Amino acid sequence: MLEIADLSVSYGKHRAVDNVALTVAQSEIVVILGANGSGKTSLLKAIGGIQPAASGARIMLAGADLSRLRAHAIVEAGLALVPEGRGIFGELTVRENLMLGAYAKRARAGEAENLDRVLTLFPRLGERLAQAARTMSGGEQQMVAIGRALMSAPDILLLDEPSLGLSPLMCGELFGALTRIRQAGIGVLLVEQNAKRSLAIADRGYLLENGRIVGQGAAASLQKDPAVQRAYLGVAQSAV
Amino acid sequence: MFVEALLTGITLGGMYALVAMGLTLQYGVARIMNLSYGEILVAAAFAVFWLFTVAGFNPLIGMAMVAPAALVINWVIYRILLLPLVRRAKTRDALEVDSILATFGLLFVVQGVMLVLFGGAYYSYSFLAIPVDVFGVTIAANRLLALAFAAVIGLALYIGLTRTRAGTALRAVAVDPVSAQLVAIDVRAAAAIAFALGGGLVAAGGVLVSMFLTFNANIGVVFTMKALIVVIMGGVGNMLGALVAGLILGLTETFVATWIDPGLTLAATYSIFLIILLVRPQGLFGRGGR
């Protein structure tokens, strides 16, 4: 269980994330919907320790406080981030990327098992293990990024706009994979612009606007919420 | 004559390659542009000279003492002198500038100590100065030994960096230090290790060079420059690039000295450097944009 409270991020005077509180349980997909510039990426980076959060934030994972840890120690504690732009090692091969995913001490014992699981989830990676990651398509690179994160045996997986720039077909494959990751007991926190697809697989959702949480609820009820439909699902206002 | 020049050039080039591998580790992984790099080489040469001529240790045993010591000393230098710069640098580029200034200062500290201890005179010692016949050419056994050691150390490093998890982690930091954190790599610890490894390598290079070249307290900067040229020619962070560029440099210097004029070796070195910079600014094996 990931529990976040009072999380703020500022760039100079600009407050990108303002007192955010949210939770993600195991075996649950939680989506954060928000427009460009709403603070989604800053929020995920702060949770992952890549971006410093304002003091006073509480980031608890299974009872342990992550808010003071450096990024590498946060991965060690069981939280893996797939950043915007994927952040894979383009010069290294797929195999090396996945092997580095299991660099965390917590991941060493189950490495072979996790590799099997990742290659079952993304069979395409198995055919390309010796290929330099940067020579692959966008969708395949996203698979490498998610596979690498799963290799660290996380309790919680954070994903920043994984569907960005992918074909509809690849998108479907990706979201399908996320539901199977949930089945494995991992909690998924997903930041997405593709509200329709992400609400379809999510259990719960939060709405982020100007750095604040302005709404939350079960994914099914968010899908039916007229305000959400207008803002994120592109449903025509009066279809009479 | 050609074979002789070839052998001499390969030996010299092997030294350059080995020394450059250390610099490319320090610069590629730790982002420290170490201007005092060559001073470690000279200090190692003096250390092994002292161990051989005064304490009576064979230079190979000397290397087994000096290289690990240099590794530890460089790790300490990183933790004490450079880590504060890493902590306060907002970007990797800022760190690069700060590290140039800091190591420029360190250069004079180390050089000053060596000048006090050994003065400005040239030193050398005679170890395995036995002529050996190779393809009808005589070459000193110490050169062959130095080349063999450089090859073994370079190969071991290459295998370590490409075939082990720890080595792959170091390369990952060189490729993308931000993402490296996302796979639980402690980037600062990795940088300290890379810097220390680089120091150990250049010390080993210094010992090997001292077996067949004369040296004095002032020549460190020459090796820093050449290592820098080899690193840039080969592509920053690229081990194979350092090997090829080192050999090119050693062979060119030797051929120019043999057939044109020994006074033109530096000019030839820089001409090649400039041509490569113009044609392939990312280096022979480097990727664009990095």
The answer to whether residue A234 scores a pLDDT higher than 80 is no
Task: State the Cα torsion B270-B276-B277-B280 to the nearest 10°.
Answer: -170
Confirm or reject contact between B172 and chain A (CB < 8 A).
yes
**Which is more confident, B141 or A149?**
A149
pTM > 0.80: yes or no: yes
Contacts of B224 (CB under 8 A, 6+ apart): B23, B34, B35, B36, B37, B38, B39, B107
Q: What is the pLDDT of residue A235?
A: 60
The C-alpha atoms of residue A30 and residue A70 are separated, in whole angstroms, by: 24
Report the share of chain A in percent with pLDDT over 90.
Answer: 73
- Whether B185 and A100 lie within 8 Å, measured CB to CB: yes
Partner residue opposite B185 with nearest CB, options A50, A72, A148: A72
Average pLDDT over residues B19-33: 91
Q: What is the mean pLDDT of residues A62-76?
A: 93
Contacts of A96 in chain B (CB under 8 A): 168, 172
Tell me if chain B has a CB within 8 Å of the CB of A70.
yes
- Cβ(B45)–Cβ(B203) below 8 Å: no
Q: How confident is the model at residue B269 (pLDDT cuts 50, 70, 90)?
A: confident
| The two structure tokens encoding residue A77 | 């504690």
Q: What percent of chain B has pLDDT over 70?
A: 98
Q: Which residues of B touch A103 (CB under 8 A)?
A: 165, 169, 183-185
**Whether A100 and B186 lie within 8 Å, measured CB to CB:** no
B282 to A83, B133, B155, B228, B234: CA distances (angstroms): 27, 40, 24, 14, 8
B57-74, pLDDT tens digit by residue? Answer: 999 999 999 999 999 999
Once rounded to an integer, what is the mean pLDDT over residues A157-183?
92
Q: Which of A71, A101, A107 sits opposite B181 (nearest CB)?
A: A71
Mean pLDDT taken over chain B: 90
Distance of alpha carbon B9 from alpha carbon A7, whole angstroms:
61
Cα separation, A233 vs A199, in Å, equals: 10
pLDDT tens digits for B134-193? Answer: 778 888 888 889 899 999 999 999 999 989 999 999 999 988 889 999 999 999 999 999
Indicate whether B28 pLDDT > 70.
Answer: yes
Whether A74 and A83 have beta carbons less than 8 Å apart is answered as no
Q: Is the pLDDT of residue A8 over 60?
A: yes
Q: Does the CB of A93 have a partner CB in chain B at under 8 Å?
A: no
Q: Does A62 touch chain B (CB under 8 A)?
A: no
**A44 pLDDT exceeds 90?**
yes
Q: Rounded distance, CA B285 to CA B245, Å? A: 10
Residues of A in contact with B172 (CB under 8 A): 89, 92, 96, 100
Amino acid identity of B282? Q
Quick one: average pLDDT of A171-181?
Answer: 93
CA-based nearest distance A50→chain B, Å:
8
**pLDDT above 80 (res B7):** yes
Nearest to B44 by CA among B198, B253, B266: B198
Distance CA B99, CA B104 (A): 8
- Contact between chains at A87 and B172 (C-beta distance less than 8 A): no
Q: Looking at residue B287, what is its pLDDT?
A: 57
The dihedrals phi and psi of A36, each to the nearest 5 degrees, come to -55, 135
What is the distance in angstroms between the Cα of A172 and the nearest Cα belonging to chain B? 26
- Beta-sheet strands, E only, within chain B: 131-134, 137-140
Sort out which chain A residues have CB atoms less than 8 A from B183's CB and list them: 75, 100-101, 103-104, 148, 152
Interface test with B, best of A41, A84, A96 (most B CBs within 10 A): A96
Which of A129-133, B73-77, B140-144 is predicted with the least confidence, judged by mean pLDDT? B140-144
Taking CB atoms and an 8 Å limit, are B184 and A49 in contact across chains? no
What is the distance between the alpha carbons of residues B15 and B38, in angstroms, rounded to a whole number?
A: 12
| Total count of residues recorded for chain B | 290
Q: Is the ipTM of this complex over 0.90?
A: no
Closest C-alpha among A135, A188, A192 to residue A166? A192
Q: CB distance from A111 to chain B under 8 Å? A: no
* Residue A43 pLDDT level (bands cut at 50, 70, 90): very high
Q: How far is B201 from B82, CA to CA, in rounded Å?
A: 19
Query: Residue A9: pLDDT above 90?
Result: yes
Q: Which of A160-164, B92-96, B198-202 has the lowest mean pLDDT?
A: B92-96
Kindly indicate the confidence band of residue B289, based on its pLDDT and cuts at 50, 70 and 90: very low
